[in-house]
């Protein structure tokens, strides 16, 4: 326990009886401790003195009539506060909907791709990859034994690259495969090769 702590605890009557006796003994022997103690005691005494302050009776008598007046008058401040809260809540709600919508949209897009790839049998998977491959002779994608997940990843990458095209022309997913321009196909190939092979 530091000296300051001992002094404060002594003043607050929080020392044990043994600690109290020891402190009082130290107080008698140390001038430095006595000076510090008196500074703290002064704080306590000032505080106690000011506790005796009383308010003017005229002021006190005015409080309840003013309160009664306020009770009769509608509180405009609380209406403004309520409107403020309502606006804040509405704003948070709109932002949450926008964020959730964006999140769900991505999720549903991936789900659609997964469902699409799962619906394909092995021959259809090979055909799809060969079709992607067919448009350009410069690249060869390994089509045998490709896992469902890998195919989904390739298609997702493909979708991400071609989203701008799809959005601009309102092209459905299935149409992407047949309606890609040479430039887009090469772009897809580059992305797929860079990412996967």
Partner 1 sequence: MNVKTDDFELVRNFLSGNEQSFNILARRYQERIYWHARRMLADHDDAHEIVQQVLLVMHSKLNTFSFNSALYTWIYKITATRCLNLLKKKKLQRIFTFSSDDAVENFGYENIIENIEAKERFTRMEKYLKSLPVKQRQVFIMRNYDEFSYEEISNITGKSIGALKANYFHAFKKMKELMEKNDD
Binding site for partner 1 (CB under 8 A): 4-5, 8, 12, 39-40, 42-44, 46-56, 58-60, 63-64, 66-67, 70-71, 75
Write down the least CB distance from residue 19 to partner 1, Å: 16
User: Given the complex with partner 1, which of 54 and 145 has the nearer CB atom?
Assistant: 54
DSSP H or E run through 113: helix 76-119
Q: How far is the CB of 9 from partner 1 (least distance, A)?
A: 9
Our CB check for partner 1 shows the closer of 28 and 39 to be 39
Q: Which is nearer to partner 1, 70 or 195 (by Cβ)?
A: 70
Cα separation, 151 vs 147, in Å, equals 6
Are the beta carbons of 149 and 113 closer than 8 angstroms? no
For the chain, the distance separating the N- and C-terminal CA atoms, rounded to the nearest angstrom, is: 68
Q: Which is nearer to partner 1, 48 or 170 (CB)?
A: 48
Euclidean distance between CA atoms 120 and 133, whole angstroms: 18
- To the nearest whole angstrom, how small is the minimum distance from the Cβ of residue 73 to partner 1? 11
- Alpha-carbon distance of 176 to 111, in angstroms, equals 17
Q: Closest separation between CB of residue 84 and partner 1, Å?
A: 12
Question: Shortest approach of partner 1 to residue 61 CB, angstroms?
Answer: 9
What is the DSSP secondary structure assignment for residue 15, as one 8-state letter?
S
Q: Which is nearer to partner 1, 59 or 197 (CB)?
A: 59
DSSP string, 114-139: HHHHHH--HHHHHHHHHHHHHT-TT-
């Amino acid at each position: 326990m530091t000296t300051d702590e001992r002094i404060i605890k002594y003043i607050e009557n929080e020392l044990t009886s043994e600690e109290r006796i020891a402190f009082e003994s130290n107080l008698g022997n140390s001038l430095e401790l006595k000076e510090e103690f008196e500074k703290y005691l002064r704080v306590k005494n000032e505080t106690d003195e000011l506790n005796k302050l009383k308010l003017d009776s005229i002021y006190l008598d005015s409080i309840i009539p003013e309160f009664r007046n306020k009770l009769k008058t509608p509180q405009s401040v609380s209406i403004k506060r309520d409107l403020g809260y309502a606006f804040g809540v509405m704003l948070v709600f709109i932002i949450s909907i926008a964020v959730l919508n964006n999140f769900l949209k991505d999720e549903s897009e991936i789900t659609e791709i997964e469902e699409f790839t799962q619906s394909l049998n092995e021959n259809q998977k090979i055909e799809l990859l060969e079709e992607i491959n067919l448009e350009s002779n410069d690249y060869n994608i390994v089509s045998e034994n490709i896992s469902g997940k890998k195919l989904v990843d390739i298609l997702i990458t493909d979708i991400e690259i071609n989203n701008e095209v799809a959005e601009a022309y309102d092209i459905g997913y299935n149409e992407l495969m047949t309606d890609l321009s040479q430039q887009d196909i090469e772009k897809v190939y580059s992305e797929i090769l860079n990412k996967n092979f």
